[in-house]
Amino acid sequence: MVNYKLTLAYDGTDYAGWQAQPNGTAVQEVVERAIEKVFGVKARVHGSGRTDAGVHAMGQVAHFQAPKARATIPLKRLRIALNVALPGDVRVVKVEVAPEGFHARFAAKEKTYRYQIWCDGVMDPFLRRWALHWPRPLDVAAMRRAARVLVGRHDFAAFSANPQREQESAVRTLKRLAVSQRGAMVTITATADGFLYRMVRSLTGALLKVGAGRLTAADIERILASKQRTAVVETAPPQGLFLVRVRY
């Protein structure tokens, strides 16, 4: 078998998330169908993580295995062939042959996500699928102060929208949580060794409350220390979120 590593970009608006499921078409499904068309065999595609319904990716990483007898297409032509077989909102950016033991999820060392907020009274209609509309001013300086409280190795249970999912630990190392603004676009960038379920959207929801003057950096510190999820932390909508990069 040949172990292929794919780097994927997709607009998640019309998908039920990355993982195949019964309630809608998933990105994983359309990638697997494209592989079957190109190779003539079924293959299971494993992603670096599960992006939720409506969440996008610039650098999702996945791997799959194909029999050596079928793996005769040069990598550049394989990328073209897969993109021909895929819908236009899912693209294979790069194809590589990975080591035999490579696993897109378990080998990942670090992930970076970006959340985009359009902070203006009128939403740009060309960005409505890729940014949250926030029609009131945000105190970006206050959001930055609160973000600094969250950086480091902590138990992030208070920022996990965990639907009874079993997990060994909620401790993660958040290496970067940056808030920037360019014109009307406010961007939150998060890099960590791993993220809990809807953690980035929960961090964003909390920082938005800080920017709106409803929470302070001290409140965020208390929420983090509590290790308890409450209604104070809201989950930001999916359309502003992008998986930007996975590092191995």
pLDDT tens by residue, 21-31: 888 999 999 99
Cβ within 8 Å of residue 88, ≥6 positions away: none
pLDDT confidence of residue 20: 85
Q: What is the DSSP-derived secondary structure letter of residue 135?
A: -
Backbone phi and psi for residue 125, each to the nearest 5 degrees, phi listed first:
-65, -20
Q: What is the DSSP-derived secondary structure letter of residue 51?
A: P
Token digits for 20?
A: 């195949």
What is the pLDDT confidence band of residue 132, given thresholds at 50, 70 and 90?
very high
What is the pLDDT confidence band of residue 127, given thresholds at 50, 70 and 90?
very high
User: pLDDT tens, 159-196?
Assistant: 998 755 656 799 999 999 999 999 999 999 999 999 99
Helical packing angle, 217-226 and 140-150, nearest 10°: 30
Candidates 3.30.1280.10, 3.30.70.660, 1.10.10.10, 1.20.1250.20; correct CATH number of 110-247? 3.30.70.660
pLDDT confidence of residue 246: 98
User: pLDDT tens, 56-108?
Assistant: 999 999 999 999 887 788 999 999 999 999 999 999 999 999 999 999 999 99
Most confident of 5-9, 49-53, 160-164: 5-9
Does residue 237 surpass a pLDDT of 60? yes
Helical packing angle, 199-211 and 140-150, nearest 10°: 140
pLDDT > 70 fraction of the chain, expressed in percent and rounded? 98
- Could you give the 3-state DSSP secondary structure of residue 143? helix
Across the chain, mean pLDDT equals 95
pLDDT confidence of residue 214: 98
As a whole number, mean pLDDT of residues 138-165 equals: 91
Annotation says 139 is catalytic: no
pLDDT confidence of residue 23: 83
pLDDT confidence of residue 168: 76
pLDDT confidence of residue 166: 58
CA-closest candidate to residue 17, choices 28, 7, 6, 8: 28
pTM: 0.94
Residues composing the chain: 248
As a whole number, mean pLDDT of residues 194-210 equals: 97
Report the DSSP pairing between strands 110-119 and 90-97. Answer: unpaired
The catalytically annotated residue of 11, 52, 124, 155 is: 52
pLDDT confidence of residue 165: 60
pLDDT confidence of residue 162: 72
Q: Are 34 and 88 in contact (CB under 8 A)?
A: no
pLDDT confidence of residue 53: 95
Q: What's the CA dihedral at 227, 239, 188, 222 to 10 degrees?
A: -20
Candidates 3.30.1700.10, 3.40.50.2300, 3.40.1410.10, 3.30.70.580; correct CATH number of 2-97? 3.30.70.580
- Could you give the 3-state DSSP secondary structure of residue 112? strand
pLDDT confidence of residue 164: 55
Q: Are 118 and 127 in contact (CB under 8 A)?
A: yes
Domain boundaries, the chain: 2-97, 110-247
